[in-house]
Structure 1
Amino acid sequence: MFTGIVEETGTLLALGSEEIAVRAAKVLKDVALGDSISVDGICLTVVRFDRDSFTAGLSQETLDRTTLIGRIPGDAVNLESALRAGGKLGGHIVTGHIDGVGRCVAVHPAGLSWEIDFEAPPAVARYIVEKGSIAIDGISLTVAACNTAGDWFRVAIIPHSFAETTLGAIKPGDPVNLEADLIGKYVEKLLGGSKRDSQENLTPAFLAEHGFL
């Protein structure tokens, strides 16, 4: 379990079909074998580590469902250690289980901040609501605006997040890992019925009425 508050950006050292190696610093402070580390929002298990890097295991499922397959050594990645009991939940509840790959469509300066637009696949879009939470490459962000379908949405990025995460280098066309808000998934499940019925009922008004917004 993570919060979506990125601790540092690491550097991809190597990527194979079964393992990934990343240069890091802060997330290695008290790391142990078997620990979970979020790499661009993907929950991975540490299988080896040394003073300045760690290696995590990969499955074909992870490669098929995330942006890792297109990464190369030297790429920057967002890193976060797993949330510890009693730790600060500064962002929102993030599992590290990617729901789908989205794509950046535009980056707009907005005063001292930035607004970034994304496209989301259907598996994620139905959970996107204005002022709801979403994790983009492991970064906890608030949806500033979206269309009715949720397949287009915008987030506002403050200078700190722009400088301390990989969002500072993002450009139109870049793929990103998306994880929808876990609460929305449970609400859909509790509503019952078909996915279509659930999607029609899962509105900002419904979430506000039941205390989720």
Structure 2
Amino acid sequence: MFTGIIESLGEISDMQPRGNDQRITIQTGKLDLGDVKIGDSIATNGVCLTAVELGSGYFVADVSIETIKRSGFAHYRKGQAVNLEKAMMATSRFGGHIVSGHVDGVGEIQSIHDLGQTWEIWVKAPDNLAKYLAEKGSVTVDGVSLTVNDVNGAAFKLTLVPHTLKETIIQHYKTGTKVNLEVDVVARYLERLMMGDKAAESGKSADISMSVLAENGYLR
């Protein structure tokens, strides 16, 4: 479990194919690995990876074909900058929102507007994620917990303050940059819950219409 508050900028220094999977080495920058053990989780651009080897200023992890297909790892190369966050502790401050490290889809930067101290960015999400995006709701972009400030179809607007730009790879974004997206976990579970008994039926997916909301007492 993570919070979406980035602790360090890292870099992928090695990528070795292992069948359809990959073993990657990540230089961790200022991330303190003193309390990290083999088997611990580190979010890497929002993807929960398990450390299988640790060294001075780096860790090694295996990336499965499933992760490669569903995240930005499909086009990452050596030298790729990454956001890093260690798994949260029960005694940690909860500064962002609940982040599982399970990427829901890959979005694309549509536009970037430099407003001086801040950036305004529009991101195009996959169409199937549009229903999870709500104005003033939370979204995770490359592991960063952010607030959705506007929504237009499957596109959403973010406003980035100087600290976030300085401490994350967002500073390197350009129009067309691919980004990992994780929607608010509460929205995902709510959708499943609304299916009721139909959730147990094979092949069924959620179809939350206005009539379904009304039938379950969410609308008057």
TM-score (norm. length: structure 2):
0.86
State the partner residue of 2:157. Answer: 154
Aligned length: 203
CA–CA distance in structure 2, aligned partners of residues 97 and 180 of structure 1: 9
Distance 2:211 2:5 in 1: 31
Match of 2:35 in 1: 30
Give the match for residue 193 of structure 2: 190
Pair 1:176-2:187 in alignment? no
Q: Alignment partner for residue 115 of structure 1, among 120, 123, 129?
A: 120
List per-residue Cα deviations over 1:54-104 (Å, max 9, x = no partner): 001111101111101211111210000001112111000000000000000
Summarize the Cα distance change of 1:201–1:130 in structure 2 as closer, same or farther, 3 Å threshold. Answer: farther
- Name the CA distance, whole Å, in 2 between partners of 1:163 and 1:103: 21
| Structure 2 partner of 1:141 | 146
1:168 partner letter: Q
CA–CA distance in structure 1, aligned partners of residues 157 and 211 of structure 2: 21
In our comparison, the structure showing a higher alpha carbon Rg is 2
Give the structure 1 partner of residue 9 of structure 2: 9
Q: Say if 2:107 and 2:178, in contact at 8 Å, map to a contact too.
A: yes
Shift of 1:182: 0.3
Establish whether residue 98 from structure 1 lines up as the match of residue 103 from structure 2. yes
Alignment of 1:37-116 (within 5 A): 37-116=42-121
Name the CA distance, whole Å, in 2 between partners of 1:61 and 1:200. Answer: 35
Aligned with 2:25 (options 21, 27, 35): 21
Q: Give yes or no for contact 2:6–2:143 (8 Å, CA) kept in 1.
A: yes
AA at the equivalent of 1:10: G
- How far off its partner does 1:53 sit? 0.6
Once the two structures are superposed, residues 133-191 of structure 1 have per-residue CA deviations (whole angstroms, 9 ceiling, x without a partner) of: 000000000001002x3x11000000000111000010000100000000111111222
- TM norm structure 1: 0.89
Answer yes or no: is the 8 Å Cα contact 1:27–1:81 preserved in 2. no
Give distance in 1, aligned partners of 2:95 and 2:193.
26
Q: Decide whether the 8 Å contact of 1:192 with 1:198 is kept in 2.
A: no
Identity of aligned residues (%): 41
- What's the counterpart of residue 170 of structure 2? 167
* Distance change in 2, residues 1:88/1:164 (3 Å): same
Q: Show structure 1 runs of 4+ deviating over 6 A.
A: 199-202
Q: Which amino acid aligns with 1:53?
A: Y
Q: Give the superposed CA RMSD.
A: 2.0
Gaps of 5+ in 1: none
Aligned partner of residue 28 in structure 1, secondary structure: coil
CA distance in 1, matches of 2:33, 2:210: 41
For 1:49 and 1:146, the matched residues in 2 are separated by: 41
Residues 113 and 66 from structure 1, CA distance in 2 versus in 1: closer, same or farther, beyond 3 angstroms?
same
Q: Secondary structure at the match of 1:33?
A: coil
Give 5+ residue unaligned stretches, structure 2. 197-204
- Paired residue type of 1:197: I
